Structures are given as C-alpha cells and as structure tokens.
Amino acid sequence: MVRFTTLIFISIFISMVSCSKEEIELNQQSNIESHTSDIENEILYLVNEYRMSKGLISLEFDAETYDFALAHNAYMISEGNISHDNFKQRSSKLAVNVGAGYVSENIGKNFVTAQALVGAWKESHSHQKNMVGDFTHFAVSATSDSNGILYFTNLFFK
C-alpha cells in the first residue's frame, strides 16, 4: 500500500510540474521578448524563417550572446562606423561563457526595417552564408545612435 501511495504522489507531482511543448515554446518566446525589441524579434523571426525555407533547423535565442551583440553595437556607435573589430575576443569569450565551438557575425547600419536588413544579408554571399551556417544559437541587437541611426550585430554560434 505504501508503494502504491508513493507512486500516486509521484504521478501527481510530475503532472503538476511538467510542461507541455507549447508551454516550453511560450516560455522560450517570453525569454526572447524580455530581452529584445520589436525589430530585433522580427530579425530573429526572419532569419529563422529563411533557414527553415532552406530545410535547416531554426536557431535558439541566447540571452548571454545578446549581451555581446549589444556591447558590439555600443562599440560601433562610439566609433561611428560598422566593423568586425574585436571579433576574435567576442568569439573567445563566447567559447568560454556559452561553450561556443564556432562563432560568426553579421553586422549592419542604417536599415529602418527588419525586412530590409535581412534582405540585404540574403543578397550578400558572406552574410547569407552565416544565416544558413551550421549553427544552433543566435542573438541580434539593434541599437540607435544619438541621431536615430540603427546599428545591428547578429551573432551565431554552435
């Protein structure tokens, strides 16, 4: 009888704390939205939509990588220029912090819509190659300078 009662208790406990796939997806979406703006969410969506149209897996948002993208935008704004400066340092830190074995990045400036930015990346061989690369995670930051010009950093890793 004690075994039966224990099994019932365990079953009830598991049913109370388990999550459905939909709940997990909603939690992941909530995690993304708590860190990102509307244009960033749209870029993430468009990149994943493009990947899936090519038969590839969708990428998972990573909040720590978002912080690296945000920091790189701040750097580019301070320089007044887009660049891949300090990429090796970003890549090395991501390797240590999130276990990234391979990192790549796309950057952009002065696009006003997510569609325009992702469209330009699709037309650029190196940017398109990053979007369809063998990655599992990503993050994008869109940051405006004091004149309202947007700077973008999209980091990918596996």
Question: Which of the listed CATH numbers 3.40.33.10, 3.40.50.450, 3.20.20.140, 3.40.980.10 matches domain 35-157?
Answer: 3.40.33.10
Domains in the chain: boundaries:
35-157
pLDDT over 60 (residue 94) = yes
Q: What is the pLDDT of residue 21?
A: 39
Question: Cβ distance 71 to 77 under 8 Å?
Answer: no
Please tell me the distance from the alpha carbon of residue 83 to that of residue 86, in angstroms, as a whole number: 9
Binned at pLDDT 50, 70 and 90, residue 62 comes out as very high
Q: What is the pLDDT of residue 137?
A: 98
Q: What is the mean pLDDT of residues 45-64?
A: 97
Instruction: For 69-113, give the DSSP string.
Output: HHHHHHHHHHHTS---TTHHHHHHHHHHHH--S-EEEEEEES--S
Structure tokens at 58: 């969708």
Give the Cα-Cα-Cα angle 150, 93, 52 (nearest 5 degrees).
60
Q: What is the pLDDT of residue 34?
A: 52
Indicate the range of 9-18, 98-107, 120-129, 143-152 predicted with least confidence.
9-18
